[in-house]
């Protein structure tokens, strides 16, 4: 089943870790207000009931031991964006608990929106249409939900696959969904039921997240 936290918007969780970081599923949101000043760059979203600021940052600067300022595309009120948000807890310099809200990934929604699907052609040889029954599609979706749950719980080894492979499969499924493609878990099937005649391909590595700044990191405030 899908992982949700009803107390933490936007609720639907992609992954958790043991460092107090929560990564949410991608969502299409509307920019309510943008903040760009001496404390950095951040956004508020119309859909956020808490009306909180979600911060954007640049790459980790190893020499200065902090994140560079955000230098990407700037957004305006009313812009529709596709974002993956993140929530984290950390310890402040004074020893008190803090929390941060980050925009991990963002792009204009128009770049990924798909036109209305056209009628699928009749089944022929190599057609790429999705001709599975409703039950078959639901069963495949249930398998993906189980994989997400096992990954979040750190139990992927119980089914004989690595956490890195699980993350890669989930990422592949998310990209396919954004591109309006049928859910394909053939990589997972190969790992669970290996074909002896030929070795299974290694799954693509999950992009490495930016380093955690830890205790020195302060939340942006306006």
Domain ranges of the chain: 13-111, 134-192
Output the CATH code of domain 13-111: 2.40.50
Tokens of 125: 């040889």
> Burial code of 116-145, b = ≥16 C-beta within 10 A, e = fewer?
eeeeeeeeeeeeeeeeeeeeeeeebeeebe
Q: Is 175 helix (H, G, I), strand (E, B) or coil?
A: helix
Ramachandran angles phi, psi of 148, nearest 5°: -60, -45
Angle at 109 between CA 171 and CA 163, to 5 degrees: 10
Determine contact, residues 199/166, Cβ cutoff 8 Å. Answer: no
Q: What is the pLDDT along the chain (222 residues), one digit of tens a residue?
A: 568 888 899 999 998 887 778 999 999 999 999 999 877 899 999 999 999 999 999 888 888 888 889 999 999 999 999 999 999 988 888 888 888 999 999 999 965 444 323 333 333 333 334 444 555 556 677 778 888 888 888 888 888 888 888 888 888 888 877 766 777 777 777 677 643 332 333 443 444 444 444 444 444 444
């Amino acid at each position: 089943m899908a992982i949700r936290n009803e107390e933490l918007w936007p609720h639907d969780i992609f992954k958790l870790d043991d460092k107090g970081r929560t990564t949410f599923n991608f969502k299409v949101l509307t920019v309510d207000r943008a903040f760009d000043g001496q404390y950095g760059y951040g956004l508020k979203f119309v859909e956020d009931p808490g009306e909180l600021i979600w911060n954007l940052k640049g790459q980790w600067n190893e020499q200065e031991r902090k994140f560079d300022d955000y230098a990407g595309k700037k957004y305006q009120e009313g812009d529709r964006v596709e974002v993956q948000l993140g929530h984290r807890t950390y310890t402040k310099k004074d020893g008190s608990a803090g929390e941060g809200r980050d925009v991990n990934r963002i792009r204009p929604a128009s770049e990924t929106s798909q036109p209305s699907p056209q009628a699928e052609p009749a089944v022929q040889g190599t057609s790429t249409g999705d001709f599975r029954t409703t039950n078959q599609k639901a069963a495949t979706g249930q398998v993906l939900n189980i994989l997400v749950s096992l990954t979040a719980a750190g139990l992927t080894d119980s089914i004989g696959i690595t956490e890195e492979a699980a993350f890669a499969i989930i990422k592949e499924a998310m990209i396919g969904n954004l591109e309006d493609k049928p859910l394909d878990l053939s990589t997972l099937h190969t790992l669970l039921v290996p074909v002896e005649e030929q070795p299974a391909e290694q799954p693509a590595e999950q992009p490495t997240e930016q380093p955690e700044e830890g205790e020195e990191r302060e939340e942006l405030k306006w």
